[in-house]
Amino acid sequence: MTDFHAWVSAHQLHFEDVLKHSLPAPELAPQRLHAAMRYSVLDGGKRVRPLLAFAAGELAEAERKRVDIAAAAVELIHAYSLVHDDMPCMDDDVLRRGKSTCHVEYDEATALLVGDSLQSLAFQLLAEHTLSDNPAGQLQMVRLLALASGSRGMAGGQAFDLASVGKQLALPELEFMHIHKTGALIRAAILLGAHCGNGLGAAQLDRLDHFGKCVGLAFQVVDDVLDAEADTATLGKTAGKDAERNKPTYVSLLGVAQAKKMAADLHAEAMESLSEFGAKAQRLRELADFIVIRKY
Amino acid sequence: MTDFHAWVSAHQLHFEDVLKHSLPAPELAPQRLHAAMRYSVLDGGKRVRPLLAFAAGELAEAERKRVDIAAAAVELIHAYSLVHDDMPCMDDDVLRRGKSTCHVEYDEATALLVGDSLQSLAFQLLAEHTLSDNPAGQLQMVRLLALASGSRGMAGGQAFDLASVGKQLALPELEFMHIHKTGALIRAAILLGAHCGNGLGAAQLDRLDHFGKCVGLAFQVVDDVLDAEADTATLGKTAGKDAERNKPTYVSLLGVAQAKKMAADLHAEAMESLSEFGAKAQRLRELADFIVIRKY
């Protein structure tokens, strides 16, 4: 088995190519919209969700060409959510991954249409390629991504997040928000990758889903810890930009030490969900480490 | 056969019920988002696209329960596009069908999430109900709606429209814009309704698609004529709000008389596409009349 970091780099590189071919060509009309879609999706991010899909696909012995498409669909949903989140009426961010955000580089109306079009494209990809030997199973993949994206998934989590600014949330409410806002799509990435294979039963898919739930939450807890500690170190303040914005975080509710313990516990629970899979789950385990034990 | 207006009223009434049951219940969390989704979809519009889906479903002898879902999916896409179009960064409209627009009644961030969530829900509906005896055919229905919605369909048409403000468009460019902006979803409504049945071959579906293309364009030409004439009559001006906004229209390019002739020609061409279907296409013919020969 190749080294984990080599696996990550190879898959990131390969996946960039998949995205380039999945997006409408820049010379196709309407050119400006297509250019803005490519600007917003390509050359950005660690591609955590696609990597999880690839790892789950390996576990399920899926053809990589199928997982390519499933991973692209999930990443397009993620990319659309970033474009819309950055808009002035949401988080009003001007920089993303060191580049101007879409509405700054283009304009707000274009950013709105970029997000809308990326969402349509995600479902187009899931419907127009063969991803499963069983078309009825493939329809379930479409449903799974739609549920994870919509008002009972990611977009619903955003709505909770908006409603929570300036409020005192309890821990279960904060967890509920994150399970939707970031967790739903992480779980969908893993399940869609696994569905591209054929062999997994319902109980095994449930284990994978529980792994995704734990990793998704741990990802957020670690984000909150890094935000708080980075600012403490670099700005000499005891809390980061989330605290400034008066947003509840795991650190604001639990303190840094307890938040770190929570991340470690979730990591252990995630690993436990994979125990039956043996060596096949190696990449998923490494990704869980990568997500939880990171410095940025 | 019942009277056309009775058929329209009965289907509009029934369809309102379908939408009510397809949208997330208002008591489900996040409640504000779900309330805003229901506000934006329910109790509004003539439901032209669903009526076309029902008429095409009757032609293809489809089960009405299946067409209900296909029609709801199309209408949710249409409703999301209205919510996003009305936002300040697009058309900045405060009234829609006599009610405050979503971002005025709620707020901009909620309107953004309402549109995003309605799009996800459309694809969820198409994937989670049985709409065809053939799941592979149902995947093609998902693809068809995704293509009609995205950057090569409706959203692409919006992008063209934005780019055309203040420009002198030639007739083919204006047609290209409308074929995407409103035509794509009208065609999808007809084809999805027809796909819920089983009997139609590719050539027949092509005829129906051509019918949809003609009706969709005629719809737009009539809109432009009504806009120009309503203002002429009520405001004493020779051109309406499109001209004020410096948007190209069929009337600004052709004049009222030629635009009326174009609508009549498209209507005749639409009827011609239905000739082989005989009495089964009666509702589609009546709808074409309804769309082209209207006063508002």
Residue B172 pLDDT more than 60?
Answer: yes
Which amino acid would we find at residue A133?
D
pLDDT-based confidence at residue B222 (cuts at 50, 70, 90): very high
Residue A65 pLDDT more than 70?
Answer: yes
Residue A103 pLDDT more than 90?
Answer: yes
With an 8 Å Cβ cutoff, are A127 and B146 in contact? yes
| DSSP 8-state assignment for residue B25 | P
Residue A254, chain B, CB below 8 Å: the answer is no
Count CA atoms closer than 13 A to A213's CA, side-chain side: 14
> Burial, A119: exposed, middle or buried (Cβ in 10 Å; 0-12, 13-18, 19+)?
buried
Q: Which of B78, B90, B101, B113 to mutate to test the interface with A (most CBs of A within 10 A)?
A: B113
The pLDDT value given to residue A263:
95
Q: What is the mean pLDDT of residues A250-271?
A: 95
How far apart CA B127 and CA A126 sit, in angstroms, is 11
Residue B90, chain A, CB below 8 Å: the answer is yes
Cα distances (angstroms) measured from residue B32 to each of A134, A172, B38, B98: 38, 19, 10, 21
Residue A246 pLDDT more than 60?
Answer: yes
Helix (H) or strand (E) holding A204: helix A202-235
B164, B247 contact by CB (below 8 A): yes
Residue B136, chain A, CB below 8 Å: the answer is yes
pLDDT-based confidence at residue A248 (cuts at 50, 70, 90): confident
With an 8 Å Cβ cutoff, are A112 and B87 in contact? yes
B141-152: b (≥16 Cβ within 10 Å) or e: bbbbbbbbbbbb
How far apart CA A147 and CA A245 sit, in angstroms, is 29
Residue A265 pLDDT more than 70?
Answer: yes
pLDDT tens, position by position, B4-36: 999 999 999 999 999 999 999 999 999 999 999
Q: B119: which 2 tokens?
A: 């799009």
The pLDDT value given to residue A118:
98
B281, B243 contact by CB (below 8 A): no
B150, B156 contact by CB (below 8 A): yes
- Alpha-carbon distance B191 to nearest alpha carbon in chain A (angstroms): 16
Q: What is the pTM of this model?
A: 0.95
pLDDT-based confidence at residue B231 (cuts at 50, 70, 90): low
Chain B, nearest residue to A128 by Cα: B143
How far apart CA B138 and CA B128 sit, in angstroms, is 10
Q: Shortest CA distance to A67 belongs to which of A154, A223, A215, A189?
A: A189
B18, B42 contact by CB (below 8 A): no
How far apart CA A98 and CA B198 sit, in angstroms, is 52
The pLDDT value given to residue B198:
79
Q: Which of residues 23-52 of B touch A (CB under 8 A)?
A: 24, 28-30, 32-34, 37
pLDDT tens, position by position, A149-205: 999 999 999 999 998 888 888 999 999 999 999 999 999 999 999 999 978 999 999
With an 8 Å Cβ cutoff, are A160 and B30 in contact? yes
* Structural domains for chain B: 4-292 (1.10.600.10)
pLDDT tens, position by position, A7-42: 999 999 999 999 999 999 999 999 999 999 999 999
pLDDT-based confidence at residue A68 (cuts at 50, 70, 90): very high
Residue B240 pLDDT more than 70?
Answer: no
Q: Which of A66, A80, A85, A113 to mutate to test the interface with B (most CBs of B within 10 A)?
A: A113
B236: left (phi over 0), alpha (psi -120 to 50) or beta: left
pLDDT tens, position by position, B35-51: 999 999 998 889 999 99
How far apart CA A155 and CA A184 sit, in angstroms, is 10
pLDDT tens, position by position, B83-142: 999 999 999 999 998 899 999 999 999 999 999 999 999 999 999 999 999 999 999 999
